[in-house]
A and B are shown apart, each in its own frame.
Chain A
């Protein structure tokens, strides 16, 4: 069985912002869907979301959405992932 590698917090933040962005585009964000897609326990998800909120990457009023800062971070994060792919580096 393939061993799952530990994800860094930065990668989890990136993945969460990515998932939240998709879920927002689809309509209302349902945390259970986010939890399943991000593959994190629900209590930890809550912690990460509050950390992202503190960083100013997301806001939860009127609903959970990415702020401009969050969108900017996500764009750069996606560009870095693309750059790493082009450089032949894999991030697991």
Chain B
């Protein structure tokens, strides 16, 4: 397949992610809770990973830099899903003790990210394992993270069923299936899995964008207010 189409898909995915960062930043801005910073960070890392992939495709002929960029993409994407999963893990925990644990986890993730980026450019003496093998392990790790987030969001939806809250688990599921398709593609070099992975990823990100636009630019939702006023009027 023409590289240009693939590069375009990476650029579009990155643009979608960076647009989403703007919306994902709002819970942190309005609530002032550091545990929500993982949400914009996760999408920013995801966007960066697509940029790295696009660059790796662009520099495919210059072998010395392509490999490094592919490794960067691998690490960045894994950290993106890790940040998102950790944010969901700590989202229900507002106590001081949990805040401390969040800060430690967050610092640990940042430290691990910096250390792994350094490893990419300064290879250790023993060398790195093959990219393909690590790619498969990382895809598996990404699937686990997305699966955890999907279950978390589905449970949240099930506790208070609302048609509006089903879209986000769906989009995480699409991202998860996309990772699974990449894994299949890596294992048996299936072309349809490769194309499917790109389509699923774009669909997932578009659903996120739809949710964000519907919330912030759709009809103003003052249902909480209406419900309270109605309750008090009937009492």
Chain A, interface size: which category? 20 to 34
* Contact residues, A52-87 vs B (CB, 8 A): 75-87
Question: B33, B153, B215: which contacts A82 (Cβ < 8 A)?
Answer: B215
Q: How many A-B residue pairs have CB under 8 A?
A: 96
Is A89 a contact of B30 with CB atoms below 8 Å?
no
Q: Describe B's contact surface by its main secondary structure.
A: helix
**B149-177 interface (Cβ within 8 A of A):** 149, 152-154, 156-157, 162, 164-165, 167-169
Prevailing SS type, chain A contact patch: helix
Number of chain B interface residues as a range? 35 or more
Q: Is the CB of B168 within 8 A of A80?
A: no
CB distance from A91 to the nearest CB of B (A): 6
Contact surface of A with B, Cβ cutoff 8 Å: 3, 5-6, 8-11, 14, 18, 21-22, 25-26, 75-92
Residues of B participating in the A interface, judged by any CB pair closer than 8 Å: 23, 26-27, 29-33, 36, 39, 87-88, 91-92, 94-96, 149, 152-154, 156-157, 162, 164-165, 167-169, 211-212, 215-216, 220-222, 224-225, 228-229, 232
